[in-house]
A and B are shown apart, each in its own frame.
Chain A
Amino acid sequence: MSDTIRVFIVDDHPVVVEGIKSLLQSATGFFIAGYAHTGAEALETISPASTDVVLADINLPDMTGMDLCKKIKSTAPQICVLGLSNFKERSYITRMVDSGASGYLLKNTPPRQLEMAIRMAYEGQMYMAQEVMQMIVRPDATDPAALPRMTSREKEVLHLIAEGMTNGEISEKLFISPLTVDSHRKNLLTKFSARNTAALVKFAMCNNLI
């Protein structure tokens, strides 16, 4: 805690940079190592010897925060990067973490949490804002053990497959093209990770899907 953490800010909005600067300057233990408004500028200005943590906006005019993070990590892996964004979309969060970021902050994060996040990143831990956490922890469906849901059409097709019908026969029965039937069949295989149609039918029977 006694160390002063040197923070570099990258955001294309001067107002945001100023805001964060004034926040961190009013707190103790932080030193503003510099700032940049674009990714290229950041890569030029950041000096690995005098920077501990980079706060990087996800949306920069010339590159994404993920790209910037990857580049920083590849040249100076000891620098910790925290993603900073207005988005709490899962696609951004997971990609940012994949790029080697030490955490993901929303721009409306309260000052206390911003400070904590920077400290945690500096100590080598991962920080996720509460809201961000909720977004990534939330499972795709309420019950992880449940089987993937089938659409009504898929159910129909599965039943007919189990009856031994061919794509052509099924297509006649359901008034859809044989190619469409085949697509449904492929989707069913993907959904239930079945190797072939026989495995699909067996799986479906064992799980009372038909």
Chain B
Amino acid sequence: MNPTLLPSLIRNNLLPVVLCLVSFGLVSGQTEPSRQLVTSSYSPTPTYTAKDTAKVRELMEKGKAWYQHNADSARYYHEKGLALARKCGFKKGEARCLINLANAVYDLGEYLLANQLCEEAIPLCLEINLKKELAATYNTLANSWNYLGNHHLAVSYYEKSLNAMESVKVPPYFPITVTNNLSTLYLDLKLYNKALTNSLRCLGLSLAIQDTATAATASLNIGNALKSLGKPDSAMIFYQQALEYGKTSGYQTLIVTTLGNMSDYYLDRGDYAQSRQLLNQGLALAKKTGDEYGKMINLHGLGRLDYWEKNFGSAEKNYQAALAIGERLGMKDYTYTLYLDLSDLAHIRKDQNQALIYRKRYYAIRDSIANTTLIHAVQEMETRYETVKKEKQIQSLMQEATLRQLQLRQRNIQFYSATALAILLLISGFLGYRNLRHRGKLSVAAALLEGQEAERSRLARDLHDGLGGRITGVRHFIQALSGRTDDIREEFSRAVAELDRCTSELRHIARNMMPEALSRFGLKDALEDYCDHMREATTAEIHVFTSGLEERLPENKEIVLFRIIQELLNNAVKYSSASEIIAQITRDGDRVHLTVEDNGRGFDPQILHTSPGVGWANIMSRVRYLNGALDWHTSPGEGLIVNIESYV
């Protein structure tokens, strides 16, 4: 067990929430089916002999045996196995060697190489349908990306790993390990709802096979997610559970971490005594089990408690003790917060010099951590863009060729220029004529559109102010009456409820017809309000972004832009089954960009070309009214992206 800590950067009142990343059982798991290799050699296209497969298997077994003790030796055997499998075209063997080798180099810290090996293994696994191996490969790839700092990619590979497991029988700890890692990662990414869902699933799965150690981690993760979601009381229930499962499985480091997080709860409520008791308990346990990391966090926690209770001397002692451990363990990503706390203390002692020294150290370490992340990101980018670079080279070669062609052509141009000029004149004449006619058509359409909007606006006001007001008045009357007549109370309340439905229906109609906020406050508020109401009707996350809309646009343009985004949002909510929708209007100078994107089911783009619906036709006519340009992308399963650019 090697709990990786991911201290949060937010320095609230006490300890950062401590997360646990459990090490992986998949490593030895995927070499287990090697016994089947013998049978696989009887497959219908054996270009390799039983002797070859036996040799590959033997090398793999050796590598597997070495893996636990010396990854370097494991690497040697897996490399040999891989070479042999390749030489004789034994694909299954090749895939398995690749995965084992990837795991070995991952352990040796060569993450980019591990990624490369996994990338090679994936098409092989897909080709010969090795689902279990595929799941393991994705898991390793996710681990590696996680280490390289690309958490988002890691999430997507963990998910792929889980998907690959769905249709194949795997040992129960496969999905548990991956789900567990995934929920830890979600916590780290601060996606608490997703973390919660996954850790709950993990808890269920692990309890089903009575794996109490994993159940303990899952409970701790659930507690942390709930705590971050602002539900400390529910979090405590799961922390308690984590303690119990931790005790059953003898998972001491987890108990220490959980105690620390629990102490936070009491600190938040101002119960210093209880908080201190838990920290002392954690410290004692950490000392007993030689858990240096646990010792450090509990000392740190005690120091902060001392600080809160104004026992500055004791606080200093605890911080220093924690710092000593942290420095010995080389846990820079934890110790830098200690420097900040020490700096605060020095400040209180009025020792400004010392305060400055600590603070400088805090900044230095923080920056170096940020730089490491940056370096990882750069490495990742380099590999990712290597292919792009090659493409670029090809492109530049092609450009050279076209340049030469151009020079040739230039000579001819002189001959043709006279003719071209004549043709140009003709074309511009034609275009001018067409434009004139077109403008005529446009202005009729524009007048229609404007008239329509004016009518709508009037109707909406009438509905809202006239009818709406009356209904409300009647409602108040009825309610005032109902207080006096006990015997027909039920009928009265039914009438009131019915009237309420009328009002809300009416509000809905009026809002869609012409939102009041649009004319009164402008596009930004109208869009935000509209999305508020859309959120009531859908589970999809709607993200709104506007910029440059502080200054109002001409009212007719605002209405048209609003109509377009209203139509697009409605479509996205109604038809796309998206989980995420982005609605965005930005203005830069005289240009206005409108974007609506969803990650939903998308559709065959041919549909819009052959039979666009009424809604789409409306959008097109409005874009024309704005003299705008519309561009959209979709395909089945790919969501829909609509970009509109227009001028004010």
0 or 1 for each of B613-648: is its CB under 8 Å from A? (1 = yes):
000000000000000000001000000010101000
Q: How far is the CB of B2 from chain A (nearest CB, A)?
A: 23
Which residues of A come within 8 Å of B, CB atoms? 11-20, 22-23, 25-26, 59, 64, 86-87, 89-92, 95, 107-108, 110-111, 135, 138, 140-143, 145-146, 148-149, 151-153, 162-163, 179-180, 182-183, 186-187, 190-191, 202, 205-206, 208, 210
Q: With contacts defined as CB atoms under 8 Å apart, how many contacts are there between chain A and chain B in the complex?
A: 165
Q: Which residues of B contact A17 (CB under 8 A)?
A: 473
0 or 1 for each of B454-486: is its CB under 8 Å from A? (1 = yes):
000000000011001110111111011001100
- CB contact between A13 and one of B149, B473, B480, B544 (< 8 Å): that residue: B473
Determine if B190 and A89 form an interchain contact, defined as CB atoms under 8 angstroms apart. Answer: no
Closest to B526 in A: A91
Q: Which residues of B contact A182 (CB under 8 A)?
A: 588
Q: Which residues of B contact A146 (CB under 8 A)?
A: 190-191
With A and B bound together, what is the CA distance between A207 and B591 in angstroms?
Answer: 30
With A and B bound together, what is the CA distance between A141 and B149 in angstroms?
Answer: 25
With A and B bound together, what is the CA distance between A95 and B521 in angstroms?
Answer: 10
Closest to B465 in A: A59
* B516 CB-CB contact with A under 8 Å: yes
With A and B bound together, what is the CA distance between A105 and B14 in angstroms?
Answer: 40
Of the A-B pairs whose beta carbons lie under 8 Å apart in the complex, a sample of 19, sorted by A's number, is A13-B473, A15-B470, A15-B472, A18-B473, A19-B475, A19-B480, A20-B476, A86-B503, A89-B532, A107-B503, A140-B543, A140-B544, A151-B641, A163-B385, A183-B588, A191-B545, A205-B377, A205-B381, A206-B377
- CB contact between B503 and one of A108, A180, A206 (< 8 Å): that residue: A108
With A and B bound together, what is the CA distance between A87 and B460 in angstroms?
Answer: 13
Chief secondary structure at chain A's binding surface: helix
With A and B bound together, what is the CA distance between A26 and B374 in angstroms?
Answer: 69
With A and B bound together, what is the CA distance between A108 and B469 in angstroms?
Answer: 11
Are A183 and B474 CB-contacts (below 8 A) given A205-B377, A208-B152?
Answer: no
With A and B bound together, what is the CA distance between A91 and B464 in angstroms?
Answer: 17
Closest to B587 in A: A183
Determine if B472 and A107 form an interchain contact, defined as CB atoms under 8 angstroms apart. Answer: yes
Are A91 and B545 CB-contacts (below 8 A) given A20-B476, A111-B480, A183-B591?
Answer: no
With A and B bound together, what is the CA distance between A166 and B348 in angstroms?
Answer: 50
Q: Which residues of A contact B544 (CB under 8 A)?
A: 140
* B249 CB-CB contact with A under 8 Å: no
Determine if B507 and A86 form an interchain contact, defined as CB atoms under 8 angstroms apart. Answer: yes
Q: Which residues of A contact B378 (CB under 8 A)?
A: 205
Interface window among B47-55, B127-135, B442-450, B578-586:
B578-586
Determine if A111 and B479 form an interchain contact, defined as CB atoms under 8 angstroms apart. Answer: yes
Determine if B535 and A138 form an interchain contact, defined as CB atoms under 8 angstroms apart. Answer: yes
Q: Which residues of A contact B643 (CB under 8 A)?
A: 151, 153
Determine if A143 and B192 form an interchain contact, defined as CB atoms under 8 angstroms apart. Answer: yes
Closest to A179 in B: B591
* B331 CB-CB contact with A under 8 Å: no
Determine if B593 and A180 form an interchain contact, defined as CB atoms under 8 angstroms apart. Answer: yes
Which residues of B502-548 are within 8 A (CB) of A?
Answer: 503-504, 507, 515-517, 520-521, 525-526, 528-529, 532, 535, 541-545, 547
Q: Which 9 A-B pairs have the closest CB atoms?
A: A19-B476, A15-B473, A13-B469, A91-B525, A145-B190, A183-B588, A89-B529, A22-B480, A205-B377
Q: Which residues of A contact B359 (CB under 8 A)?
A: none
Are A151 and B582 CB-contacts (below 8 A) given A111-B483, A206-B374?
Answer: yes
Q: Which residues of B contact A87 (CB under 8 A)?
A: 507, 516
Q: Which residues of A contact B480 (CB under 8 A)?
A: 19, 22-23, 25-26, 111
Q: Which residues of A contact B484 (CB under 8 A)?
A: 26
With A and B bound together, what is the CA distance between A208 and B377 in angstroms?
Answer: 7
